[in-house]
Amino acid sequence: MHPTDRLQGETPERLAERFGPALTLPEARRIIAHVVQRGGDSLLGVQQLRTTARKAVEAELPIGQVSVIERRASQEDPFIKFAVGLPDGAVVETVRIPLERAGRFVVCVSSQVGCAMGCTFCATGTMGLSRNLEAWEIVEQVRLVATELRASGEGRVHGVVFQGMGEPLHNLDNVLQALEMISNPCGLAVDARNVTICTVGIVPGIDRLASMRTRIRLGISVTSAQTMLRRSLVPMEGKYPIREVVEAAKRFHERSGRLVMFAYALMGGVNTTDAEAEALAELLKLMPARLSLIDWNPIAGLPYRPPTDSERDRFHDRLAGMGVPVIRRYSGGKDIGAACGQLATASTRKSRPRPDRPGAPDSVASDATPGKSSDTA
Ligand code: SF4
């Protein structure tokens, strides 16, 4: 079964527009608050909803169901990674990331099943693209973490980062639709300023975001500032060279006023050379930027390694010495398959989705740009 429209993908405004006189806007707001905010699995519990309105919505837009196939809590740090089963049997990853401020969490979501970008250092890149996620499937990843946090009393979802499986700008319509619900006060009520879309650099997608004058943040995965090296690591370099990507990011910054985050996954002996540091410093002179360095997380079968301490320090110090605003970010969850795509691959192999609702307690077990592995877009 391919998942199509589900209730969680529709904001109250879209819902009311879709059903016309059959559903008022206040009714639509009550429906979405009941399902998305309170986790209701039926419309029977919605207060002040006419029977005719309820039946009209039930007939056309069922409540979508995903399942938690696996829930892995890190023993080293408070990261939790979920393998989320979708109705067609596909599995994607969602990560719950604690921020320094107690009780606040960021959810790292997937936007596609697999990825078409083919980055050679990424587990998801080895899968190829199966399909785009529907808007409601993206919303559900945030909702399952929000539901679990509420049930445990641990806190709330403060931000969302599109840095899981997939290239969000390659599924931008559905990502933007999901964002409407994620930031809607009747939905998940996450401030759009705390949402980050991370990309390897799809220039038309960046320009589309720029034209929207959105409040979200943009993150760019650089990987290398040298054309030939980047081309060997990020095939999209052939279509959208990093210099054009940075120029598009500059347009985004100028229109939105939002600072662009540049992420750089350090692979020892590959992109940690002095020549690379110099090329990177030169590239980032094109616009106001902040750069995060993060160790690449090992993935079995891939011919890369994390940097040594001295490689990391030297690279950082050279950049800082050339005036680049650079920080080192901690990559958490190493013991739970921190690199994007590892848990989903393993879970797809060993399990099928269960029909239970997300966030069920018996399921198996930053700022808003968190310290998760940046070996994803
Ligand atoms: S790094 Fe991001 S864009 Fe590249 S293959 Fe992995 S998920 Fe796709």
**Given this model, what pLDDT does residue 259 score?**
87
**Given this model, what pLDDT does residue 91 score?**
96
Query: pTM of the entire structure?
Result: 0.89
Q: Which atom of ligand 1 is nearest to the CA of 376?
A: 1
Q: Are residues 53 and 73 both part of a single domain?
A: no
- How confident is the model over 311-317, as a mean pLDDT? 97
Q: Which atom of ligand 1 is nearest to the CA of 375?
A: 1
- Mapped onto helix, strand or coil, the DSSP state of residue 160 is strand
In this model, does residue 22 exceed pLDDT 90? yes
Exposure string for 122-133, b = 16+ CB within 10 A, e = fewer: bbbbbbebebbb
- How confident is the model over 270-297, as a mean pLDDT? 96
Q: Are residues 193 and 333 both part of a single domain?
A: yes
197 lines ligand 1 (CB under 6 A): no
Give catalytic residue positions.
Answer: 93, 340
Domain-embedded: residue 268: yes
Q: Are residues 172 and 232 both part of a single domain?
A: yes
122 lines ligand 1 (CB under 6 A): yes
Q: Which atom of ligand 1 is nearest to the CA of 377?
A: 2
Domain-embedded: residue 287: yes
- Nearest protein CA to atom 7 of ligand 1, as residue: 166
Residue with tokens 């040594």: 308
Query: How does residue 356 score in pLDDT terms, banded at 50, 70 and 90?
Result: very low
Q: Are residues 114 and 212 both part of a single domain?
A: yes
Q: How far is the CA of 202 from the centre of ligand 1 (A)?
A: 12
Q: Are residues 53 and 123 both part of a single domain?
A: no
Residue whose CB lies within 8 A of the most ligand 1 atoms, among 93, 95, 119, for a mutation test:
119
User: Mind listing the pLDDT tens digit for each residue in 90-106?
Assistant: 999 999 999 988 899 99
- How confident is the model over 137-159, as a mean pLDDT? 95
In this model, does residue 53 exceed pLDDT 90? yes
Q: How far is the CA of 364 from the centre of ligand 1 (A)?
A: 27
In this structure, which amino acid lies at residue 133?
A: L
Domain limits for position 277:
67-350
- Nearest protein CA to atom 4 of ligand 1, as residue: 119
69 lines ligand 1 (CB under 6 A): no
**Given this model, what pLDDT does residue 361 score?**
25
Q: Are residues 313 and 262 both part of a single domain?
A: yes
299 lines ligand 1 (CB under 6 A): no
pLDDT > 90: what percent of the chain?
79
Q: Are residues 24 and 170 both part of a single domain?
A: no
**Given this model, what pLDDT does residue 339 score?**
61
- Note the helical H segments in the chain: 12-19, 25-32, 51-60, 135-152, 172-183, 203-211, 227-233, 242-256, 274-284, 309-321, 342-350
Domain-embedded: residue 48: yes
80-85 sheet: strands from edge to edge: 67-73, 80-85, 91-98, 104-109, 156-162, 195-199, 217-221, 260-266, 289-295, 326-328
How many structural domains are present in the chain?
2
Q: Which atom of ligand 1 is nearest to the CA of 122?
A: 6
Mean pLDDT of the chain: 88
115 lines ligand 1 (CB under 6 A): yes
376 lines ligand 1 (CB under 6 A): yes
Q: Are residues 52 and 197 both part of a single domain?
A: no
Q: Which of 162-176, 197-211, 347-361 bottoms out in mean pLDDT, i.e. has the lowest?
A: 347-361
The 10 Å Cβ neighbour count of residue 76 is 11
Report the CATH number at residue 319: 3.20.20.70
119 lines ligand 1 (CB under 6 A): yes
pLDDT > 70: what percent of the chain?
86
